[in-house]
Structure 1
Amino acid sequence: MKIVVLIKQVPDTAEERHLEPDTGRVDRGASDPVIDEITERALELALTIKDGDKSTEVVVATMGPAGAAKSIRKALSMGADTGIHVLDDSLAGADLVLTARALAAMLREAGADLVIAGNASTDGWAGMLPAMVAEHLGLPLLGSLVSAEIGGDKVTGTRQNESGTQEVSASYPAMITVTERFAEARFPNFKGIMGAKRKPVETLSASDLALTAEVRSRVLDVAQRPARAAGRTITDDGNGAAELVDFLASRRLI
């Protein structure tokens, strides 16, 4: 089985993040870049399958600037076999539409049996990209799973929401997205770090993918988040509960 895991390099979620006022894009130089935590969990799922079946090939793929190569190398040090880097200056600031087209074109060339991605990225939280990619490729999508079982002829999983759970399945080729309910990613060991330097990474440009880059969306304005106003103190002189209810109701919080 060949599994392609879509990873994304994002600003460290443990640090404060900022937008560039001129472009409206995330200021990726303001904090250390890391692999998005949810896509790391997607990679862990693929590596777990590889642990049980050594014939499984795990490919990590991303679209991003030159610095994203570090995230690919880290994924390789964790146990992935090869990497794919979609790298082209014309794709800088790509919106969801262009990003989905680029990743779909890359995946057509990769020829995966299973594509695994995170259900959303921590720098955008759009949560729509996997569905858009699956639509381009005509693949069944099992989205926002809390558990998954990759079998010989199909993938099955459980999706959970406020109404209950739903059991879903699809034959290969297919695409699934995982949530934070999946296991945390393993740490690379010294052998993995050294071996990652010799593993191949394919770099693809927009022209390699027969892709015409056209960003159709742009940010028109960026404003600083207003400072938080001081709260209101309610002194309980016998009517505290009623005042609290009135306060919450006036703000439509109850």
Structure 2
Amino acid sequence: MKICVCAKQVPDTNEVRIDPAKGTLIREGVPSILNPDDANALEAALQIKDKYQDTTISVISMGPPQATYMLRECLAMGADEAVLLSDRAFGGADTCATSTTIAAGIKMLGDMDIIFGGRQAIDGDTAQVGPQVAMRLGIPVVTYVQEIVDYTGDKIKVQRQLEDGYELIEVKLPCFLTCVKELNEPRYMSVGSIVDAYKKDIKVYNHEDVNLDPKDCGLNASPTQVFRSFTPPVKGKGEMLQGSNKDMAKELVIKLKEKHLI
């Protein structure tokens, strides 16, 4: 079985700040990490590999050259090969252009049985790239996978997370599955696996390698553009009312009238 995992290097959102004057992200000094949901996606692939020894796992990412550090982390966890799509032509891509590039990269890797990806990236939170890649590859997609129930060779049965429960879905291969954190607990890297990861080559493809015209990727092919980012103003401290329900309701009405809200 051949499995592909889509991974992204993202800024640690606990460290992200916004320049109040420019309205842009301050990336200097902010550590980059493997997108958490993508770690769950990789773990799902690795668990299948643990069970079926003839499985190979390819990890693919689009990003700047430093994303190779994240890809080596994926190799250290147990992936067999890693591919980085890196080119100035890919810069400024929205989800539409990103999915075009990633789909082209996957096609270069050959036919895949299962493609895993995280539910969404923590720097964008759109949850759009996975379904868009599946659309461009012409394969079915199941989003928000919280459990892999069964695998029978040409089909896979999964639980799809809902707000008030789950759906049990069986889908034919090849397919694309986007994963949520409840699916599993990503494994740790061993010292030996880290050393081995740095012995492996990471393939780097540009737009020519994946047969894309510059006008079909990056900012040129992005219908969505971000004009400004900002931090919402801090709200004032709330006031807690105390007493019986009757007294609190009476006091609340008085305060709302004072503010001319009622």
What is the TM-score with the length of structure 1 in the denominator?
A: 0.88
Q: Which has the higher helix share?
A: 2
Q: What displacement does 1:30 show?
A: 4.1
Asked if 2 retains the 8 angstrom alpha-carbon contact of 1:23 and 1:219, the reply is no
2:260 matched to which residue of 1? Answer: none
User: How many residues are treated as equivalent by the alignment?
Assistant: 247
Deviations 1:97-151 (A, max 9, x none): 1101001111111121110001111111101111111111110101111101333
1:226 matched to which residue of 2? Answer: 233
| Structure 1 pair 190–228 and aligned structure 2 pair: CA distance change class (3 A) | same
2:104 matched to which residue of 1? Answer: 105
**Counterpart of 1:181 in structure 2: which amino acid?**
E
Whole-Å separation in 2 of the counterparts to 1:167 and 1:16 = 37
Q: Which runs of 5+ in 2 are unaligned?
A: 257-262
SS of alignment partner, residue 134 of structure 2:
helix
SS of alignment partner, residue 62 of structure 1:
strand
**Residue 210 (str. 1) matches residue 211 (str. 2):** yes
Q: What displacement does 1:153 show?
A: 1.6
Whole-Å separation in 2 of the counterparts to 1:47 and 1:247 = 58
Q: What displacement does 1:227 show?
A: 1.9
Identical-residue share of aligned pairs (%):
30
Whole-Å separation in 1 of the counterparts to 2:234 and 2:199 = 50
1:252 matched to which residue of 2? Answer: none
Whole-Å separation in 1 of the counterparts to 2:255 and 2:42 = 47
Q: What displacement does 1:81 show?
A: 0.5
Moved more, 129-138 or 225-234: 225-234
1:239 matched to which residue of 2? Answer: 247
Asked if 2 retains the 8 angstrom alpha-carbon contact of 1:17 and 1:30, the reply is no
| Structure (1 or 2) with the larger CA radius of gyration | 2
Asked if 2 retains the 8 angstrom alpha-carbon contact of 1:41 and 1:178, the reply is yes
Whole-Å separation in 1 of the counterparts to 2:53 and 2:183 = 21
**Counterpart of 1:154 in structure 2: which amino acid?**
K
**Residue 31 (str. 1) matches residue 24 (str. 2):** no
| Structure 1 pair 22–239 and aligned structure 2 pair: CA distance change class (3 A) | closer
Asked if 2 retains the 8 angstrom alpha-carbon contact of 1:49 and 1:150, the reply is no
**Counterpart of 1:53 in structure 2: which amino acid?**
Y
| CA RMSD, Structure 1 to Structure 2 (Å) | 2.3
Moved more, 238-247 or 63-72: 238-247
| Structure 1 pair 226–56 and aligned structure 2 pair: CA distance change class (3 A) | same
What is the TM-score with the length of structure 2 in the denominator?
A: 0.86
| Structure 1 pair 76–235 and aligned structure 2 pair: CA distance change class (3 A) | same
| Structure 1 pair 131–20 and aligned structure 2 pair: CA distance change class (3 A) | farther
Whole-Å separation in 2 of the counterparts to 1:93 and 1:44 = 29
2:259 matched to which residue of 1? Answer: none
1:123 matched to which residue of 2? Answer: 123
Q: Which runs of 5+ in 1 are unaligned?
A: 249-254
| Structure 1 pair 59–229 and aligned structure 2 pair: CA distance change class (3 A) | same
1:251 matched to which residue of 2? Answer: none
Whole-Å separation in 2 of the counterparts to 1:247 and 1:61 = 57
Moved more, 172-181 or 233-242: 233-242
SS of alignment partner, residue 47 of structure 1:
helix
| Structure 1 pair 19–137 and aligned structure 2 pair: CA distance change class (3 A) | farther
**Residue 44 (str. 1) matches residue 43 (str. 2):** yes
The residue correspondences of 1:46-85 to structure 2 (distance < 5 A) are 46-85=45-84
Q: What displacement does 1:169 show?
A: 1.5
**Counterpart of 1:124 in structure 2: which amino acid?**
G
Whole-Å separation in 2 of the counterparts to 1:117 and 1:247 = 50
Moved more, 213-222 or 165-174: 213-222
SS of alignment partner, residue 166 of structure 2:
strand
1:132 matched to which residue of 2? Answer: 132
**Counterpart of 1:180 in structure 2: which amino acid?**
K
| Structure 1 pair 190–48 and aligned structure 2 pair: CA distance change class (3 A) | same
Whole-Å separation in 2 of the counterparts to 1:9 and 1:89 = 17
Asked if 2 retains the 8 angstrom alpha-carbon contact of 1:24 and 1:219, the reply is no
Whole-Å separation in 2 of the counterparts to 1:205 and 1:24 = 31
Asked if 2 retains the 8 angstrom alpha-carbon contact of 1:147 and 1:158, the reply is yes
1:197 matched to which residue of 2? Answer: 198
Q: What displacement does 1:165 show?
A: 2.3
